[in-house]
Structure 1
Amino acid sequence: MPCEVYCHSLTDPTILGPELRAAGAHTLTVFALHLPARLFTADPDGARAAALAATLRSLDSVLDEPIAGCVAHGPDGAPCIEARSPADLERELRMPGGHIFHRDLAWPFAEHPEEVGRWGVETDDPAILLCGAGARRGGGVSGITGHNAAMAVLHG
C-alpha cells in the first residue's frame, strides 16, 4: 500500500494534551495514496477494515518491529486508530469521491503522444488551466501546478 507517514507531534508536541506529552506519546498520521472510491461501494465498512489492515502491513514492512506494539489503546481496550475511506471523506467533508487531489491519481509523465510537451494543467477548454491538486503534474501543496500553468500561458 503506497502511503505517506507523518509524526506531527515530534515538531509540535502541543497537539497532545499534557498527560500524553508527559507519557511520551506521539501522533502518527498514515495517508494511503491511492484508494479509488469504487473499492468502498459494495461494503464500505469491510473495505475500510481491509484497507486499514493492508496499510498497517505495509507500514510494518519497513519497520523493525510491528507498529501494533506502539499503538495506544483506549479505556475500552480498542486501539486508538482512526481510519477514513474515500466514502467517509465524501460523506463527512462533501469531497466528491473522497478525492483530496480532486480526481484519481495519475502518473505525472505523458502516457499518450498528444500529452508530450504539455504542462499537465490543460483542460478540455483551452482558456481554463488547472492550478491545484487536480492537475496532472504536481498538486498537493508543492506549488508546481501554478508554475506549470504560468509556463503554459507564457510558452503555449
Structure 2
Amino acid sequence: MTDANEILISLKPRHAESIFGGTKTVELRKRRLNVEPGCRIWIYATIPTAAILGYARLDRIEAAPPSQLWKKLGSKTGISREEFEAYFQGCKVAYGLVLADVMEMEAPLPLARIREIIDDFHPPQFYCHLNGARRSMRLSHRKYRPIEKQMSLFA
C-alpha cells in the first residue's frame, strides 16, 4: 500500500465507537472523497476523545440520492432515519463509505502525543491524504485487535 492510499478522517466519538464496535460499517459523507477502494482510512475521534483510534479499509463508495442510499445501506450507518434525513437535507447525492477490515488500537493515540511528533498537526475537518514525504510517525509499538505486526502513519 502506498502512502497515497491512506487518509485520515475525523468522526464524532460515538460514530468512531460504533465502527470499532461493529454496529456501523458505513460512514456517510455529503461530498465524494478522492480515494479508491482498498484505501486505508485512519479514524480520529474528535473532542472529548481527541485521539486516533484505529483504521479500516475502504471496500467501496456508494453514491445515490439520499432516499436510495438509505434503502440500501441505512441499517449499516449506525444512525436513525431522522438523523440521516437531517444530515442529507438539501443534498441531491449521498455518499456511503463501505468499511471493511476494521482494526482498533488497544491504546488510542492522543492528539497531544501526535503533536509531539508532528508540530503542525491539525485533525482534518473533512479528510486529508497522508503523505510519506513528511515526517513519519511510527505506531509499531501499539497493538491492534486483531494484532498487526507493524504499520506507520504518515503526516
TM-score bucket (shorter structure): under 0.3
When normalised by structure 1's length, the TM-score is 0.23
Find the structure with the greater CA-based Rg.
Answer: 1
Q: Whose helix fraction is larger, Structure 1's or Structure 2's?
A: 1
Q: Whose strand fraction is larger, Structure 1's or Structure 2's?
A: 2
When normalised by structure 2's length, the TM-score is 0.23
